[in-house]
Structure 1
Amino acid sequence: MARGIESTDSEETAVGTPEEHARRTVLRAATAAGAGLALTAPEARAAAGGGGAAGSGAGGADGVPGGPLSVVPADPRYDHLIARGASNRFRGRPERVYLVGSTAQVVRAVREAVRSGARLAVRSGGHCFEDFVDHPDVTAVIDMSPMRDVSFDTRRRAFVVEAGATLGEVYRKLYLGWGVTVPAGYHAEVGAGGHVPGGGYGPLCRLFGLVSDHLYAVEVVVVDREGETRAVVATRERDDPHRELWWAHTGGGGGNYGVVTRFWFRSPKATDRTDPGRMLPVPTRTALTFTADWSWEGLDEERFTRMVRNHGQWAERHGAAGDRSAALYAEFALTRRAAGAHMLLGQVAAEPGEDRRLLDGFLGAVCAGTTRPGALKVRRLPWLTAALRGSGEAVGDWHIKIKSAFLRRRLTDRQIAVVHRHLTRADTGVIAGSVVLNTYGGAVNALSPSATAMPHRDSVLKLSCLASWAEPGQAPEYLAWIRECYRDLFTGTGGVPVPGETADGAFINYPDTDLAAPRWNTSGTPWQTLYYKGNHARLRAVKARWDPRDIFRHALSVRPARPTASPAGKS
């Protein structure tokens, strides 16, 4: 254990000041994204479907009898349905919300919306960091929340998850039923519908890869060139004529190609097709959870710089596939001085003894030659307890803006100076603003950039800039702060993380429309390259085949390539 660091078996206690609440809320906002709440063009745009055999139209446990149920503004349920979500920066007023309980009901809802000329969006987990669902032009929303089934499909020999299920429900049912899990996000309330297609990540990603790396098949309700609506199942099997549709859902973003109704999961390396307990990762029996705070008091710029540099150097040393420290996952929230202290939290999914050794080595490296945390709170919990507890309570009624970057190397000293300046600026009243550095890499980096649609396969850190405020009138000040901080971090590449020696683009599950705005992206590199790199052309081809009429669109959606000779959706 690092010298001078105090450990305790007691629960972490909440600090009651507004500043502390703001600081913790900002960090939770990052994990609600899908760290991954990712969510993402994502959570709000993808959706879910019925349980049972493919194409059966059977509903899940919370199905909608006689659905789809069309909820209009006069219905007392309407206000609840449009208010779900963590980022309250946007509020839409669609003409109707379709509640669906099966794949067949999704087909009927999409068909009705398309025939009526409605602008359609889909809500899965409930939140999105941009207005992809809550947009003034959206007149019909499909709400997938009733579709939450998690079970084992004996015919496909894979676990089936309806896209309306939350990650907490997925963890609980997979683990209690079969002792397995998927390496998905840190926040239990994130919905699977958008988290998975965007390449969601979380505490186990360094050990087992991204959740989408374990995707075997996906069911999608699509609309062809003639306006016909149907459900299609696409698998990763090499001889599947629909395989490209599966591939697009392994990191190509949710809500781009149709309405996702179900996912099937089986690890690519699973060789036993008879025992479900051997088809997905098996977590350790316990997880070592930890939190630590670094007070701004006494933390001058030199010590701050060394601390952030140390953290980044540890990530560089331990970001390769197969690294012995892959069991350790941490999120380091560097917060505004007004919030009082920086916060580090995470989990170590290793055997008792080894877990503490890894944690102590990590903390010792971060603290070397600089300030130590005021307190370290460590608990060893049953793995499922830790997974369901995640990063803490839900974000609540906050307005949130998030920006992201994949980092192949640590922040440079110039970039650390930028972070310090924006965290200590006295010319703004921003409190809940932070720069968060998440450990990344490990098993994520074992695949090639084209093996799945997620192309970022050699990064060691995931960076997020976050701003979170309570009142709409605070938006201009908070938006100005986060935009300027992010721009200055990447000023050498036009204000955005252009793939290069240090950075490697942005994370589609943290959508940021500023990347498509010439004022904030002066790099000459289009936003599509930042999110998808060399995979963008292939994704456009998938879009042209499966959504040639561009029914499923938003500010950052993949646009169809030019029409091909064969009609889309007909093979």
Structure 2
Amino acid sequence: MSTPSAQRPAITVKPADVRYPALSRGFNQRWIAAPEYVRMVTTPQGVAAALSEAVNQPAADPARTRVTVRSGGHCYEDFVCGDDVRVILDVSPMCGMYYDAAMEAWCVEAGATNWHVYSHLFPRSGRALPAGSCYSVGLGGHITGGGYGLLSRQAGLTVDYLYAVEVAVVTERRTVDLVVATRDDPDPDRRDLWWAHTGGGGGNFGVVTRFWFRDLPTPPRHVLLTARSWDWKGFTQEQFTHLVSAYGEYFAAHQDPGTAAGRLFTLLTLTHSNGGRNQIGLVAQVDAESDDPDEDEGAAAMLGFLEAVDGPKTGASKPMAWSAAEHGPIQDAWHPRLMPWLTATQALNGSGQNRCGKYKSAYLRRPFSPRQIEAMWDYLGNNAHQDYDNPEAVIQIDSYGSAVNRPPRDTAVPQRDSILKMQYQVYWRRPSDADPGHPERHLAWIRDTYQATFADTGGVPVIGGRTDGCYINYPDLDLNDPEWNTSAQPWSQLYYKDAYPRLRRVKARWDPLNVFRHGQSVEPDPDMGD
């Protein structure tokens, strides 16, 4: 087992360094920063030292004053790699994990990725985090926003297992403290700091260095995995309506994690039709020990789901042949394949190509309305934006809820009665660092599509009724803009609901100088000041 090294020197990467162009950007090539330097930090003590140095240095350029932190680099907006960033603290070298007997918990450093956890923690412990399917997502952001994945309908969210967090915080005197906060901490301020990292979002309160997890779930020994697709060519509006309706109705009816159907997880990828040249994709996974529905509850659940969504009313599906969104094609899996859980996770792993992107999200508490389905049909290349033919424009609908909706304890994730989770995505390439690749038409498509889907509620999935707001790990600055959010609910309510006032108090207590700020950072509570 690995243990954290006490003496791993930090590395400073400046503009003349060969590594600088790669380290001054993240997954989303839309955002490229020009910081004074990137500091590759390797230990909690090194984080504290680097943060102290950064916040006490004068800025060479008064337009670049922010200090940001990166683990996996998957921030979708310019919160890490913006034009106003002076220093990036990169914790990706901190990817160790070990059992901490004193904490009675597994410790995972904040730079570890989803794939580190799957490929290292599971073989050592037989346990797993119910985390995401994109292997390169860093836990520093994934956990703090309330990360979820294919095990979540049977095991809940990653934050449901978080026992402790270590954070480098900046005091009013511009000194830096390393604070370990636990969920049963006797100090209420530290207990609040722990709570804020169970869904309050990354980059809000300090630099996370380590997480500790207790009672992690055991993943299934085997799963059934299937991947199917429908050709857009000849796919009718009636077939589309049946597919999306049946998909939502199935998960509305199967929300008991004590059943195999309640544990089944799926990804429905509604790609842009691209003039009929694209495919709609479907991936489904359920724990099982046999592919015979007469012998195994998981196999029966898979069969029942496929009968609901893939039948005569949707036309004949085919094996998946093309990549969709952030996942590559899973071939030879039209017939559900029985395989070990880790093997299936490897088949699903992916993080997409080097490209620019824009994202939006929504929680659904009930199946889609006819108007919502019609809007999605129209904007996926049928009746709206007829001149737009980007095959990398996607509405992804994930199954959700079940065990997520029965949290074991209080967390900062407030959306706990949803059945579906949506992610709108659009991708394009930039010809060079100096050329952003004409993003206007791509931004117009995703904005118009999203606004049309939720036209009845101000262009956004408001809290209450059919929808329940948005996911902070899929940040969207359009929620701040009255042109695109005409509801009465601000971005903070859409992400955090009633948890936001408490998050503001935590922010004022632990980041009094508002060092960690961006376009949607938690705003300090002014009543907490002197």
Name the TM-score, length of structure 2 as normaliser: 0.90
* Cα shift readout 1:81-102 (whole Å, capped 9, x = no counterpart): 224x321111111010111110
Instruction: Determine if the alignment matches structure 1 residue 180 to structure 2 residue 127.
Output: yes
Find 2:19's aligned residue among 54, 66, 77: 77
Distance 1:378 1:323, change over 3 A: closer
2:164 counterpart letter in structure 1: A
- 2:419 is matched with which residue? 460
Within 5 Å, which residues of 2 pair with 1:126-525?
Answer: 126-237=73-184, 239-241=186-188, 242-266=190-214, 279-320=215-256, 322-338=258-274, 339-352=277-290, 353-368=296-311, 369-375=313-319, 376-391=334-349, 393-423=350-380, 424=382, 425=384, 426-447=386-407, 451-471=410-430, 472-525=436-489
Corresponding residue SS for 1:473: coil
Whole-angstrom distance in 2 between the partners of 1:328 and 1:565 = 48
- 2:5 is matched with which residue? 59
Whole-angstrom distance in 2 between the partners of 1:76 and 1:421 = 46
* Cα shift readout 1:49-83 (whole Å, capped 9, x = no counterpart): xx96xxxxx537xx733x2x221111222223224
Q: Which runs of 5+ in 1 are unaligned?
A: 1-50, 53-57, 267-278, 567-571
Whole-angstrom distance in 2 between the partners of 1:414 and 1:196 = 34
Contact 1:307/1:371 (8 A) holds in 2: no
Name the TM-score, length of structure 1 as normaliser: 0.83
Q: Which moved more, 1:423-432 or 1:403-412?
A: 423-432
Whole-angstrom distance in 2 between the partners of 1:429 and 1:374 = 23
Aligned-residue CA RMSD (Å): 1.7
Whole-angstrom distance in 1 between the partners of 2:266 and 2:305 = 10
Distance 1:545 1:108, change over 3 A: same
* Cα shift readout 1:121-165 (whole Å, capped 9, x = no counterpart): 001012211001111110100011110001100100000000100
Corresponding residue SS for 1:542: helix
- 1:27 is matched with which residue? none
Corresponding residue SS for 2:371: helix
2:94 counterpart letter in structure 1: M
Corresponding residue SS for 2:309: helix
Q: Which runs of structure 1 show a deviation greater than 3 angstroms over 4 or more consecutive aligned residues?
A: 320-324
2:229 counterpart letter in structure 1: D
1:544 counterpart letter in structure 2: A
Contact 1:286/1:380 (8 A) holds in 2: yes
* Cα shift readout 1:220-256 (whole Å, capped 9, x = no counterpart): 0001112110100000115343100000000110110
1:96 counterpart letter in structure 2: Y
Whole-angstrom distance in 2 between the partners of 1:359 and 1:435 = 23
Report deviation, 1:188: 1.5
The size of the alignment, in residue pairs, is 492
Instruction: Determine if the alignment matches structure 1 residue 102 to structure 2 residue 43.
Output: yes
* Cα shift readout 1:307-347 (whole Å, capped 9, x = no counterpart): 11111100110135545413211100111111521000132
Report deviation, 1:290: 1.4
Whole-angstrom distance in 1 between the partners of 2:284 and 2:198 = 25
Report deviation, 1:288: 1.8
Report deviation, 1:378: 3.0
Q: Which runs of 5+ in 2 are unaligned?
A: 59-64, 291-295, 320-333, 431-435
Whole-angstrom distance in 2 between the partners of 1:406 and 1:322 = 23
- 2:293 is matched with which residue? none
Contact 1:188/1:389 (8 A) holds in 2: no
Task: Identify the structure with bigger relative contact order (alpha carbons < 8 Å, sequence gap 6+).
Answer: 1
- 1:19 is matched with which residue? none
1:388 counterpart letter in structure 2: Q
Contact 1:287/1:347 (8 A) holds in 2: yes
1:446 counterpart letter in structure 2: R
Whole-angstrom distance in 1 between the partners of 2:108 and 2:517 = 24
Q: Which moved more, 1:380-389 or 1:158-167?
A: 380-389
Report deviation, 1:430: 2.6
- 1:17 is matched with which residue? none
Report deviation, 1:195: 0.1
Whole-angstrom distance in 1 between the partners of 2:33 and 2:519 = 15
Report deviation, 1:377: 4.5
Report deviation, 1:565: 6.3
Report deviation, 1:428: 1.8
* Cα shift readout 1:351-383 (whole Å, capped 9, x = no counterpart): 323332221111111135332312324322221
Contact 1:168/1:387 (8 A) holds in 2: no
Contact 1:198/1:251 (8 A) holds in 2: yes
Q: Which moved more, 1:330-339 or 1:398-407?
A: 330-339
1:101 counterpart letter in structure 2: T
2:8 counterpart letter in structure 1: V
2:412 counterpart letter in structure 1: A
Identical aligned pairs, as a percentage?
A: 44
Distance 1:473 1:80, change over 3 A: closer
Contact 2:248/2:366 (8 A) holds in 1: yes
Whole-angstrom distance in 2 between the partners of 1:341 and 1:385 = 25
Q: Which moved more, 1:542-551 or 1:291-300?
A: 291-300
Corresponding residue SS for 2:202: coil
